A and B are shown apart, each in its own frame.
Chain A
Amino acid sequence: MDKFFDFGLTAQLLQLSFVQTALIAAAVLGLVAGVLGPLIVTRRMSFAVHGTAELAFTGAAGALLLGVGVEFGALAGAVIAALLLGLLGGRESDRDSVIGAILSFGLGLGVLFLWFYPGRAANKFGILVGQIVSIETTNLIVLVIAALVVLAVVACIYRPLLFASVDPHVAAARGVPARALSVVFAVLVGVATALGVQIVGALLVVSMMVTPAAAAARLTASPWKVTVLAVVFAEIAALGGIVLSLAPGAPVSAFVTTIAFTIYLVCRLVAHLRDRAARVTADSPAAAPAAS
């Protein structure tokens, strides 16, 4: 347990280039996850993110088996999942079960791929729960480019996407192409999820894509402030998770998810206390005449 608080060792490890690569990758993912997160929460897509991540796992497992870069496999799997969910799950009543059906099949297929894979067990474990030390410079370039593309597309479609997400009826009346936007957004989420798989792993991507935004949404109702806060929270979770994992050499994802969840709990508590204070203030004018 001492290793958890060995700051000397942590500082030493931070000098290593692969650790620095991992930190850059995490920072990029934090930014993308923080920007997409509030829209994911508003559109109730937590389960879709989870389903997409499972398919990213299938793709990554397939890539491992074929000897292709895992990041490309994850990307292909996640984008295919996003398109499937976007096309099959158009109606909200269907969406939940469509995700469940696709997710479980994808996971099963991935397990089969891993069973065929003759290589190291650590690689297999890595795509499920993350293995940031394996990110190489070439992966990093792919990751940064993918992230930039996602952010650029979000910048282009942000307003109509927000409109269609928070106010679908009026947005439809104003001619916002909600259906096309939701497919595009699903693909963006797919790409971001594939990036997340490399850092926190397929099983825990939700902790980066959803938890920071869900925490931020407790504190403010302003779409802009929620996005800024979600980015900050996602960065704290991603970077903090890596730094804390260095000394003990434990899996990154355990720390990332713990930090994200702690932030979430704190935000809920803050919101609860604030609402209670607001209620007391609102009640007091009514109480005053009775007292006098």
Chain B
Amino acid sequence: MSPAVQISSATLAFGQRTLWSGLDLSVERGEFVAVLGPNGSGKTSLLKVLLGLQHLSRGTVRINSDQPVGYIPQQRAMAEALTLRGVDLVGLGLDGHRWGAGLRGLARRRRRVAAAVSAVGAESYARQPVGKLSGGEQQRLRVAQALVGDPDVLLCDEPLLSLDIAHQHAVSELIDARRRAAGTAVLFVTHEINPILPYVDRVLYLVDGRFRIGPPGEVMTSETLSELYRTRVEVVRVGGQIHVAGARSAVCEDEPHHLDERVS
């Protein structure tokens, strides 16, 4: 079976600046790939390429699926007065991109939305205004919104950001359960690998146009990361977690990217 996502000799450059070049990455069905790297390394741009919002400078990208790609953004504050309930948010993930008012097939739509909502355990608050829900509740609904269309590929852009640890675990588990049950390929952009470490099959680590792909155990080592960052970096494993210590400014990224800021 062909891989769900196939990126071949891909290069992305903005003017003189090359974000990455010669990138080859195949993501198999049911595989969980984490995309890591400092700010400006082109993690979010990679997602935009996969979403079709950004053209490659060279190379090809293929998504082998008839279904639209699922997408989970980072949690953002929503206006409290926004006239939108959880079920409406999830429903937009199903058919919000289609033309028309969507008056046909309402019963079937309602069933699919209800199934997606119950799959993430959000029944108790799905009919409340989304703006009044907590960040964790909103992100659960985001998972449902991304999965309601039964995507073969799920793209996640820092979905755990600004969530507390309990909700980070809950949301990661939902994504992991889904890819195991339905064979969804997951590409997960994050600046913090630990919440998803138990689920990650492979890591794509991007630094300054250089990158490394492999299982976390191979990529997340002092040797590999020192090579990527071209400076001494220590990787320490503590209680099943991975901590990266080094030139702080280069390794730790405090501010994640926003997809929208580069769009406009």
Contact = CB atoms under 8 A, between A and B. Distances in A.
A221 B82 contact: yes
Contact of B83 (A38, A90, A168): A38
B100 A172 contact: no
Interface in B108-133: 128-130
Contacts of B101: 154-156, 158-159
A172 B84 contact: no
Contact of B100 (A155, A169, A173): A155
Contact of A173 (B81, B88, B259): B259
B192 to A, nearest CB: 20
Contacts of B129: 221
A90 B264 CA distance: 9
A170 B93 contact: yes
Interface in A143-173: 154-160, 162-163, 166-173
Contacts of A169: 73, 76, 259-260
B128 A221 contact: yes
A176 interface: yes
B68 interface: yes
For the complex, would chain A's binding face be called helix, strand, loop or mixed by DSSP majority?
helix
Interface size band for A? 20 to 34
Contact of B84 (A156, A176, A221): A221
A42 interface: yes
B83 A226 contact: yes
Interface residues of B, number: 34
B52 A223 contact: no
Nearest to A154: B101
Interface in A1-53: 38, 41-42
Interface string A189-213: 0000000000000000000000000
Nearest to B74: A169
Given A172-B260, A173-B53, A173-B71, A166 B84 contact: yes
Nearest to A164: B96
A170 B145 contact: yes
A217 B83 contact: yes
Contacts of B97: 159-160, 163, 171, 174-176
B102 A172 contact: no
Given A170-B92, A173-B259, A160 B83 contact: no
B71 A170 contact: yes
Contacts of B14: none
Contacts of B264: 90-91
A281 interface: no
Contacts of A175: 51-53, 97
B92 A163 contact: yes
B98 interface: yes
Contacts of A90: 264
Given A163-B97, A166-B83, 15 more contacts: A90-B264, A157-B99, A158-B102, A163-B92, A166-B84, A167-B89, A167-B96, A169-B76, A169-B260, A175-B53, A217-B81, A217-B83, A221-B84, A221-B88, A226-B83
23 contacts: A90-B264, A154-B101, A155-B100, A156-B100, A159-B100, A160-B97, A166-B82, A166-B83, A166-B84, A167-B89, A167-B96, A169-B259, A170-B71, A170-B142, A170-B145, A172-B263, A173-B155, A175-B52, A175-B53, A176-B96, A217-B81, A221-B83, A223-B84
